[in-house]
Chains A and B, each alone.
Chain A
Amino acid sequence: MIIGIDLGTTNSLCAIWQQGQAVMIPNALGHHLTPSVVGLSDQDEILVGLAARERLLTHPQLTAAVFKRYMGSDRLMSLGTQKLRAEELSALVLKSLKADAERFLGQPVTEAVITVPAYFSDAQRKATKIAGQLAGLKVERLLNEPTAAALAYGLHQNEPESRFLVFDLGGGTFDISILELFEGVMEVRASAGDNFLGGEDFVEALIDGFVEAVGKPAGLSDKQADAYIYQALRKQAEQAKRALSGAEQASMTLEFQGQLLSWTVSDSDFAKLAEPLLKRLREPIERALRDARIRAHELNQIVLAGGATRKPLIKKLVAKMFGRLPAMHLNPDEVVAMGAAVQAGLKMRDAALDEVVMTDVCPYTLGVEISEQLAPGRYEAGFFLPIIERNSVVPVSREQTVSTIQDQQTAVLVRVYQGESRLTADNIFLGQLHVPVPPKPAGAVSVDIRFTYDVNGLLEAEMTVQDTGKKHQLLIEENPGVLTPEQVQERLRELQKLKIHPRELLVNAALMARADRMYQQTRGEDRLYIGQETARFQAALDTQDETIIKPIREELQRILDEIEGETWL
């Protein structure tokens, strides 16, 4: 059984293809969404999901979130005394989803399709694969998120031929894909995106607005200075952001050095704060349309995916850019996971999907560094020679030929880059190889460079020296920010040492964490009440008797819901 996983910045989900449809898998709390948050409990056990998210405020030093942003980098995040990479934290989330799937299916699960932002780089894709490996999952396929959303939508299309654009704004990343559907073929025509733009940035914008308006006058100018204050502000900003989806204004409060700071934000204030972010959404859209050579009015539908597209602000922007209203028939939080399940079904050759073929593209240009002749005999290095143009259909293999520029040159240094700039300095370096060549006059030796890019987004370069016919291969595997196989093994051993909080006790842990967090956030009577009920719950937990725990847990849940409304996911 292959499962489909949407490993998101804010939330992660898991789904399977069953009896001809995508089925969402609930987690230990019965939710479809598992917050992508990892924490250490007071007993030094790993907590994943809602329980960990609730502890962001009460135990910021023991909790990590938004780590997807650091995939493919060497950045370490602390969990108490432990230092973990983004792959490892992601692996812990994946492990938790895997356990949910195993419980749901009643059988072990070892293979998965995992979605990644279309615009994820080579290093970020590899890091995602490694995260799967660390979680004990063989990653059958990395699927681009907007393509996944399109797969889910495509199967629900009644028109045999159509073109649509998927606008996928997740917690941390933004992707655009343009698809064409014909004769059972789902063809991605173009993808573009921004790996550092998502719902989380809108939360940050609100925090900045708060700091600017009431924080600074009270002496709070650096939101990051104190982890507790930052998390408290985040929580307030998240709640305000949600409130602004329905109401015209929302308020944020913070206790700071004995004073209560309070700020009311209207939806037009929010629009102003978000303006720079909205501007950044435009560029990838224009680029994708240009690359697909499709005009917006030729699109049959604009489809929204990602929780952040629920914001009225975003819907309004989309309507204005395209001159019509976007579609949101499927739950935008779940649509990517559903598409991953469809892909898993395709992988398993499910009969219901027999007539469907999907083709995807490589969203960025891949090439090598060359020197250009600016004047006779005067060369300058640092120019980019594209080999595979962006938005080529994958798998794809393309070749370019370069020549020596110096007499008696003995080697050609092939440096591989990804990006859209004419200058390699502005592109991303992927790897390099020295190719020895026979010493001859300048220009007399040529090397064919062939790039092959596969369906998973992995690149291989093959260099052939024309004179000798000798071939040299470079598998772009060990780029900066990616673990080597030996390091992976070592990390695997380290991870196995971590104790995971028992799945069946997660409900209690999540509720307790929420009660603790609310105790800190409330005042007066509410606070006393929560304190009392929490103590009662703790006493019940100590009995370890589910018949005693259950009614008290439900009572506490009801009380907390009453005070702050239901927990949002």
Chain B
Amino acid sequence: MSSSPWHILGIEPTQDQREIKKAYARLLKTMRPEDDPQGFQRLRDAFEHAQFLADHLPPPAAEPEAQHAEERGEYCQHCGKVHEPLENVPEDEKPVVETLRPWIYELSDLNREDQVEQAIRRLRQMLADPYLRDNEKHQQIFEDGMLYLACDDRQVKDPFVQVLIEQYHWTEADNWLAEREPQTADYLRVRMLEADALDKVEQLFLLIEEEGEDAAIAAFDLALESDTLFNVDVKALFEGELMVGLSEFEPLPPTFLHHIAARFGWQQDHRHLQAYQPLAWRTLEQALNRQNTPPIY
């Protein structure tokens, strides 16, 4: 009879991965892999099973579309973080923050409503506003707000972030950000690379439609060698999105599909594709297999 993983771990069923890890770690010290291989394997199987269950329990009900929290210091559903309470803002900055906050929210909301062009236009107007233009302190506080949008506000779209980066030069080596928050600068750099990678995927599909598969294959090979895809995360995104795009592309471009499957080694290793989007991979796998099946005599 096999016990449930929760029983072996000695905890109640939970979705809290941290709690699962804690229970495993505690028991592991009495069932070390080299001293008690059998006990360890049982524990390990229970651990992995519990982790899987925790990930696959039904997620909590989707939350309704959230608005900005009104109160300072209140958790904001819209931004997913607590708005800085004004008490923590130095006395002389309070009025500035109070003035600029609605500006920042406006840009966030325009992004959320997919009006990126309008958001960029408004940004330019704000930057030209004497309130910012003529006061260094105001400019600084506004830049902090923009950095918040670029890094912490998930509604904000890539083209908008691109404009912000061009405006403030955050990703350049001699910028204040590189020194004070190198990780933030790294994040922004990768975010822009990712935007570029997504753009490349889109270009490839356009090429297939307009110039045919051979042109797309040549462009793909070039993209693979590009600096953008040098970053491993960016390349993984490129691969995943290309797969999803292909699975929805009609009619399926067979030569192109085979070429990229070979270049990425999809036939040998596709667990990551399955994890990325199982349905898309299944579609492509069937297509690849159909074309690979040896003739039957």
> Which A residues have a C-beta under 8 Å from some C-beta of B?
141, 182-185, 282, 285-287, 289-291, 293, 295-297, 320-324, 355, 357, 359-360, 374-375, 378, 393-397, 420-422, 454-455
Contacts and interface: CB of A to CB of B under 8 A. Distances in A.
B190 A323 contact: yes
A282 B183 CA distance: 23
Nearest to B270: A290
B205 to A, nearest CB: 23
B267 A454 contact: no
Nearest to B237: A295
B190 to A, nearest CB: 5
Interface residues of B, number: 37
Contacts of B271: 290-291
A288 to B, nearest CB: 10
B269 A355 contact: no
Given A183-B22, A396-B41, A297 B230 contact: no
- Chain A CB count within 10 A is highest, among B44, B182, B267, for B44
A321 B232 contact: yes
A421 B269 CA distance: 9
- Chain A CB count within 10 A is highest, among B44, B189, B233, for B233
B44 A322 contact: no
A285 B232 contact: yes
B29 interface: yes
B272 to A, nearest CB: 4
B175 to A, nearest CB: 16
B235 interface: yes
B41 A287 contact: no
Contact of A374 (B28, B231, B235, B294): B294
B41 A286 contact: no
Contacts of B249: none
B228 to A, nearest CB: 11
A455 B236 contact: no
Interface of B: 21-22, 24-26, 28-29, 32-34, 37, 40-41, 44, 182-183, 186-187, 189-190, 193, 227, 230-233, 235-236, 267-269, 271-272, 275, 294, 296-297
B40 to A, nearest CB: 7
B41 A323 contact: no
Contacts of A295: 233, 236
Nearest to A298: B233
- Chain B CB count within 10 A is highest, among A282, A290, A421, for A290
A395 B29 CA distance: 15
Given A185-B28, A286-B236, A455-B37, A320 B268 contact: no
A455 B189 CA distance: 41
B231 A296 contact: yes
Contacts of B231: 296, 320-323
A297 B236 contact: no
Given A183-B25, A359-B33, A375 B190 contact: no
Contacts of A291: 271
A395 B37 contact: yes
Contacts of A287: 269
Nearest to B30: A357
State the 5 A-B residue pairs at the shortest beta-carbon distance, nearest first: A183-B25, A290-B272, A395-B37, A375-B296, A296-B233
B30 to A, nearest CB: 10
A321 B182 CA distance: 16
B33 A420 contact: no
A375 B232 CA distance: 41
Contacts of B297: 375, 378
A291 B271 CA distance: 8
Contacts of A397: 41
A286 B239 CA distance: 12
B27 to A, nearest CB: 10
